[in-house]
Structure 1
Amino acid sequence: MPRRLAPRVLAALARRYGDFASAEDAVQEALLSAATQWPARGVPERPDGWLITVAARRLTGQLRGETARRRRTERWAALTPPQELVAPPADAADPGAADDTLTLLVLCCHPSLAPPARIVLTLRAVGGLTTAEIARAFLLPEPTMAQRVSRAKQRVRAAGARFAPPPERERERAERYRSVPHVLYLIFNEGYTATGPELTRGGLTGEAIRLTRMVRRLLPEDGEVAGLLALMVLTDARRPARTGPDGALVPLAEQDRARWDRAAIAEGLALIGHTLAHAPVGPYQPQAAIAAVHAEAERAEDTDWPQVVGVYEVLRALAPSPVVTLNHAVALAMARGPRAGLALPESVVDDPRLTRHHRLYAVRAHLLELVGELAAARAEFQAAARLTTSLPKQRYLRRRAARIEHAGE
């Protein structure tokens, strides 16, 4: 719950004090306090008010300790006491009401920031992700990402950016939203394949979908936003079947497709069909098209793998990345045989972004198992299990390695 409330709490402080960077630091400290105190004392009746009170006190104390800002601190002390700072209730009856989370989204995409800085700052402020989670999303070391977050907040402060509603002019608004889809994509991915003991975090995936719907209402002709929304709803439709009764990971090929959300699939298919016909193609439309191919197959063996291979070729031309290459390898193996897929991972084996990422080893293990190189496959599964930060994935990969070992006995 604390992370879900973070954008609202940050918005309340940023609106009152005007210093986004300091407010964000204070909110992070309040979230840490909640994580340590709420399990023992219980969740407060007004958790958002509790977080705002704690964050405001931390912020006020920090400002009092900065002699260069003494006059500002004295002026703030004359304002309403922090404990009276409360988040306004959401008005569900007014869908056009200003949304603090969206306003934060626009602030984090300030023109003074380079696109990578906009992304990491939004993940922190709007998505509520920790620096470690953001680092994993970007395949970067945590200290490197911590520096990026710090520099981004310093740049926002230096630019004098304020907490304010989205710009009215269409061209400026479109520019500010240019990097938003990638931010929301990363938030969704962190929720769909979470770190830690659970495979998914429904709150993060739900928030990413909610924000993407909101952005699409603002930019209805943007094909990338529509493609991203299609990708999200088609992928999330499979979530009920991704885990077994014991919480174990169930891979796509083994999922009970009767448990997939058919309403979400219908929405996603309509979205991707429309945007492919009416908008320029960007990186998200092909990914959504691949998800649509899987969604349309009643059984795993009905999947049109040659079509998936063709779409991955388009995606590699539009947005090449080592992860796309690995996924393309799996599709090739399914369409043309495992040896056809094995050649591709070798092209990215030395990529520094993947040397500590479990996906490389898991794909190689799967393909090696298919060609009968069982000892090598077992070693790769074990390496992948050591590297993943998802406990369900770790258990799944270890079971795959153990299955190979028992098969050879």
Structure 2
Amino acid sequence: MLFTDLGLSEPILRAIAEEGYTSPTPIQAKSIPAVLKGGDLLAAAQTGTGKTAGFTLPILQRLSTIKPSSGKRLLRVLILTPTRELAAQVQESVVTYGKYTSLKSTVIFGGVGANPQIKAIAGGLDILVATPGRLLDLMSQKCVSLNDIEILVLDEADRMLDMGFLRDIKKILAALPKQRQNLLFSATFSTEIKALADGLLNSPALIEVARSNSANEAIAQLIHPVDRTKKHPLLAHLIQSNDWKQVLVFTRTKHGANKLVTQLEKDGITSMAIHGNKSQTARTKALADFKAGKLTALVATDIAARGIDIDQLPHVVNYDLPNVSEDYVHRIGRTGRAGSNGVAVSLVCIDEHQMLRDIEKLIKQKLPQEVITGFEPDPNAVAQPIQLRSQQHQQSRKPKTANGGAGRAPAKKAPAKRSSPPKRSFSR
């Protein structure tokens, strides 16, 4: 199948062709016709399968061919995302593939000044990409009206629920016209997602391009058993002995990310950390340098890395296994995108054996293990308890305090700054 077979107009096909693409991914091939029909949609797809283009392309098509009856420019599409990084990438997709249409869009999120965003909205828009917190802030200031919304998209809805945005989402839904098209995209069909869909969607088309909670088959997964105190030396050994040029490393905490960067730099491995405590300038530089190949290792926490989209990222390392098993799937999904191969390595100490069993149960497969010579784990080691949820993760699930890239923060506390990422690929 080709994009020319999907009913997209010449201006949109021209933009797609200029990016070097001719054939849609499976999620695009299924979702584009479904969205064009005008009905509701519930879609599950792993990261890296092209789901962002699966809704941006048909939305651009619908808006460019169906004009408002009033003849005026109206805000007709609202796309909600959980994080600033993902919001910026969705907006990038809208701009890239809508450049030969007359449609106008903007993105709003916290961590930056609101005045330019307010000015962009006041200038007239067709499409608004937003994180929930900043949108509610501007709605409370009467700076944005949702009265004419025709299409609502909830992107990565599972992550929005994980981060405690359900209350915010309900407030936004209450401000929307009842007659509209609803598109819900999620990496998994969890019980919570199904409950949200039941209350939001009207006889939706159902699309699932991969088994829920499954890992991408293009990703080679490997476990290296190691003592907790030898994780850093082992990581440095793997990077240097294998001549890895670009590796995304996940840690459990922000402090752990900072500490690991310091250790790797002493080993001569160029590294930077990205997490919620980093300034927006620092986050932007880290992402840009990593994508440009100036950094060997980008060390990230789960929430900070959500939405990172890098072409052909070859290696992902779980320095710490995630507290939440589903996050393992999201983490390794940073590699093996759009048909390319990737390697996901996990450094697992005795403290994390239960986490590993939970992950294997979730993805329904036993992960291969390889002990590296010189880094054999102590057979007499005793497991130490791990905090079930880091303070960061606990806070991210509380509706009243969850910032999570949305620009909302607890009272009397400044929101953590986050940045827009480098240019995204078509693979989302």
- What TM-score does the superposition give when structure 1 sets the normalisation length? 0.26
Q: RCO greater where, 1 or 2, for CA within 8 Å and sep 6 or more?
A: 2
TM-score by length of 2: 0.25
Larger Rg: 1
Structure with greater strand share of residues: 2
